[in-house]
Structure 1
Amino acid sequence: MAFARDRAGLAGLPSGNGFLVPPVDGHTVKAATFLSNKWGWQAKAAPDLFLLRASIGRAGEEHLLDRPDRHLVRTALNDLHHAVGPVGEPVAARVTRWDRGLPQYTVGHASRLARIRDDIAGLPGVEVCGAAYEGVGIAACVATGLAAAERVLDGAGVPG
């Protein structure tokens, strides 16, 4: 879910891009992203607002997404309060459900990936990339896509 909060009174928020919450912490929020810090264009577009995102729904906790929006918002705000201090009431909140939206790597994923790469090594112009293989974040997907494209171009003899 995404929140917009009036910047006034938020001086205590960390200056980083966000944080991850390990399941052993017992909180519902699994991650928070300080969008206004991470993406400068958002801070410029809405200088009076602080935009942040909270993620809920680890593997095995998909049932949490069945709760009403207002409950998810309250839960996220409470978890954020415990993690970074009072965040106050948002001026806007939007809940978006991406049920099973991210792959969940299991034990042995690296070995499976190595076998897949070995199996396709003899197929010119064939590569694998993206969230199913190496990293679920946008930056990881872009990086693996660029690396795959470079390997295809190298194999075709196209100068980089």
Structure 2
Amino acid sequence: MLPLAHSIRELAEQVIECEICGNLETKSPCSICLDQRRNTKLLCVVEDLGDLWAFEKGKIYSGLYHILGGTLSAINGIGPKELNLQKIISRVKESSVEEVIIATNSTLDGQVTAHYIVDLLKGLNVKVSRLACGIPIGGEIDYLDEGTLNAALSSRQEMKITQN
């Protein structure tokens, strides 16, 4: 057990926060930020490290990330200064980012944080988008709550009809 404990301690001492995105790794900038195959025009803003790895695990996104470290929460005393919010502005201004994808949760705090980020980015020449919300794949309408159904209806998309 002692060698295992020693190894865990060594690893904990080596892990640092990426100076660019906030990811945790043994070097800064992290391997995601240094990966030249990444689409540098896309910046996905996530609440925490687990959200970043959910995207990475599925290999469904190839842009860059920005980890906030939580959400705004008046009840919990978390304001803008407690989150990694100001770096978003500098990253957009100083890089080739064309679109900021806000990927905060659909909770009240996540929604408030998303609106705050939109306000931060006003006046900058960048497209801002939000993850769609609503009916999950395989979900059945009669089992959904009113909030989810309302979100799905509000964020509906046009279906293209192709002519043969």
Same fold? TM cut 0.5: no
Greater RCO structure (CA 8 Å; 6+ sep) = 1
Q: Which has the larger radius of gyration?
A: 1
Q: What interval of TM-score do these two structures reach, taking the shorter chain for normalisation? A: under 0.3
TM-score (norm 2): 0.22
